Chains A and B, each alone.
Chain A
Amino acid sequence: MNRIDALFARLKAENRRALMPFLTAGDPDLATTAALIPELVRRGASMLEIGIPYSDPVADGPVIAASYHRALTQGVKVAHIFQTLRTLRAEGSDAVRDTPLVSMVSYSIVNRMGVDRYLNDAATAGLDGLIVPDLPVEESASLQDKATRRNLKLIQLITPTTPRARAVEIARLTTGFIYYVSVAGITGERKALPEDLKANVAWLRTQTDLPICIGFGISSPEQVEELAEVADGLIVGSALVRRLADSATRSRADLVKEVGDFIGSLADALNAGDAVG
């Protein structure tokens, strides 16, 4: 069974929600990424999204765009990222080996490597799925088919600007889980989330049996606790990545601890919400 399916089956049985941190591979370096992954798993991450740095991300806000730039500036390549993940899968603890990993990757990168090679390398690196934010469903049929044949999930996004009929169609074409984008805009921390967010997710739940995870703009324990009412999982990106931004002044151990503490605080909030819910 794909690790993503296994995770959501387990969480559903336990009436719990998934916490999904996003981190940019290679920011500030791959050794830190390799140290962060087990720490985040230990502190309560259910699944990890691994951002493959891209030179021209248009869906990402300044925090994640800058982290991509930092990783690329010091020469991180896709092959290096996959090698790091392969090592973690081979040598990590049982918990690390069982945690689903999903790459967030631009189609520019997938296309340049070749779809088959990207998927083969991703599968052997121990990835369980991919999110290709600049590949809408109209263009993704072939990738979906090839991913499925390798037991990889292709997770599609639904946004507040997606008309409802289109949302139903996207839900039909996605595998693993639905990535529900909370706001019409780029990634980044936001104090207030849209008022109709919970209602929109509740409606989507009536249209699909797939798990629904919410991302974009989520940064605080309060938001995590609130959204746990309607979501199967919560994705936290910029708020984590921001904590790695001034890596030059801090040791790797300090960075890992600080990010671990932050994810731990969100996991505690999610568990509290689950306990209430």
Chain B
Amino acid sequence: MSHPASTGSSTSTTIAQAPDALGRFGAFGGRFVPETLMDALNQLSAAYEEAKADPEFVRELEYYWKDYVGRPSSLYRADRLTKFAGGAEIYLKREDLNHTGAHKINNAIGQVMIARRMGKKRVIAETGAGQHGVATATACALFGISCTVYMGEEDIRRQKLNVFNMRTMGATVVPVSSGSKTLRDATNEAFRDWMGSSKETHYTIGSVVGPHPFPTIVRDFQSVIGREARAQIQEKAGRLPDAVVACVGGGSNAAGIFYPFIGDESVELIGAEAGGRGRKSGDHAASLTQGKPGVLHGSFSYVLQDDDGQTQDVHSISAGLDYPGVGPEHAYWKDSGRVRYESVTDAEALAAYGEAARQEGILPALESSHAIAQAFKEAKRLGPGKILITCLSGRGDKDAFEVARLRGEPIT
């Protein structure tokens, strides 16, 4: 990596690849937060600009990515899945092989390093599926910084293993009992904590959501996925892919793999959202395909909300996608037509989880299973001779208990 924000793309682009001074991606993004947090955000913006221009910061980040996380993650040609889908050749970008089992560690290490540079004594985070919580707890253990993770009670039930692991690494996990007891409520609580503690605390946001500069910081750190995938496919196949597919909750693994391909007009980019049990409100978490532009958690983006601007309840089989908003840059990419967003049901994701296990011996996270389900459809549409990369954003160990429960074969 020459620079956290560099795209590695050699082609020109018609889409602006960075937000403006107010943190806007087109009409989306910005800062819609209480005045109490504005100074902390201004300080974070300055600290990030300074860090990414500091070769020593970049060198250290690359060191931890390589020697601690295990980067680059492999780009694996999944022949049996390709045969199963019956069309384009499917490659899997194996973020599941990272230390802690998901892409979240790429961002967590970067942000905790920034927190350390800023002299913060404490880091807080919110988590849905627990992967960002585990990644943040890991980075905090690595750098010796105190860590508190907010997590909804429903997600604590669904993701016991990750809760245990976070606590083992020294983090305090705070159960959130308000509202739907999921990621959205955990995010509210993390913001409330930060309102009173920003002087000594950094809030490590886990996706490309929240007020400026978080969507940019997280995208930049996660772009390592796309930069690697772009170089790896050129090495393996001698050309760029025809399509890239990734799941979208908040959208960080998708932003990370899409961003370095934004300027490559021949590459189709497809985001797979949580279609849940159907199109009825409260039964899905498909913010981009079924939401409206609105404000949630500090930024203007697509939100699932009612006519009064109240956030609606959402559902996904995957705790990591169970969120009523989405990163503002995805909203921008949607409206500009650069990325196509589709919705994938719980049942389709569960089926893809099973196929990946049986065909390839890989247990994908339920989040990533949405991307795999969409990849099956796209591979068939594209047909033989085409190349498709799917971001396998995380591994499915954490979901085994929930899948077993849904199948009626509880493990414990």
Residue positions of A touching B, CB distance < 8 A = 54-62, 65-66, 69, 72, 77-78, 106-113, 133-136, 138-139, 156-163, 166, 170, 181, 183-186
Contact = CB atoms under 8 A, between A and B. Distances in A.
* 5 A-B pairs closest in CB distance: A185-B196, A112-B309, A58-B191, A109-B309, A59-B34
B33 interface: yes
B36 A185 contact: yes
Contacts of A138: 22, 30-31
Interface of B: 22, 30-40, 178-179, 184, 188, 191-192, 195-196, 198-199, 292, 294-298, 300, 303, 305-311
B196 A58 contact: no
A110 B294 CA distance: 10
Contacts of A107: 32, 295
Given A69-B179, A111-B295, A162 B35 contact: yes
B296 A185 contact: no
B308 A56 contact: no
A78 B192 CA distance: 25
A255 B198 CA distance: 37
Given A58-B188, A108-B305, A161-B39, A72 B310 contact: yes
B297 A106 contact: no
B308 A136 contact: no
A163 B32 contact: no
A56 B311 contact: yes
B312 to A, nearest CB: 8
Given A58-B195, A113-B309, A184-B198, A108 B179 contact: no
Contacts of A108: 32, 294-296, 303, 305, 309-311
24 contacts: A56-B296, A56-B297, A65-B178, A72-B310, A107-B32, A108-B32, A108-B310, A109-B309, A111-B295, A111-B309, A113-B308, A113-B309, A133-B34, A133-B35, A139-B32, A157-B34, A157-B35, A158-B35, A159-B34, A161-B36, A161-B37, A184-B195, A185-B195, A186-B192
Given A58-B191, A107-B32, A136 B309 contact: no
A76 to B, nearest CB: 9
B29 to A, nearest CB: 11
A212 to B, nearest CB: 15
A186 B196 contact: yes
A181 B178 CA distance: 25
B294 A163 contact: no
B195 A77 contact: no
A58 B33 contact: yes
A136 B184 CA distance: 22
Given A56-B311, A106-B295, A161-B39, A136 B31 contact: yes
Given A109-B308, A186-B196, A134 B39 contact: no
B122 to A, nearest CB: 15
B111 to A, nearest CB: 19
Nearest to B293: A111
B308 A77 contact: yes
Contacts of B307: 112
A183 B196 contact: yes
Given A136-B31, A159-B34, A166-B38, 19 more contacts: A54-B309, A55-B311, A58-B33, A58-B34, A59-B36, A61-B192, A65-B178, A69-B178, A107-B295, A108-B32, A108-B309, A112-B307, A112-B308, A134-B33, A134-B34, A139-B32, A157-B36, A184-B199, A185-B195
B198 A161 contact: yes
A139 B29 CA distance: 11
B310 A55 contact: yes
A111 B294 contact: yes
Contacts of B37: 161
A65 B35 CA distance: 18
A74 B274 CA distance: 28
B199 A139 contact: no
A54 B310 contact: yes
B36 A134 contact: no
Contacts of B191: 58
A186 B190 CA distance: 12
Given A58-B191, A136-B31, A184-B195, A159 B309 contact: no
A181 B35 contact: yes
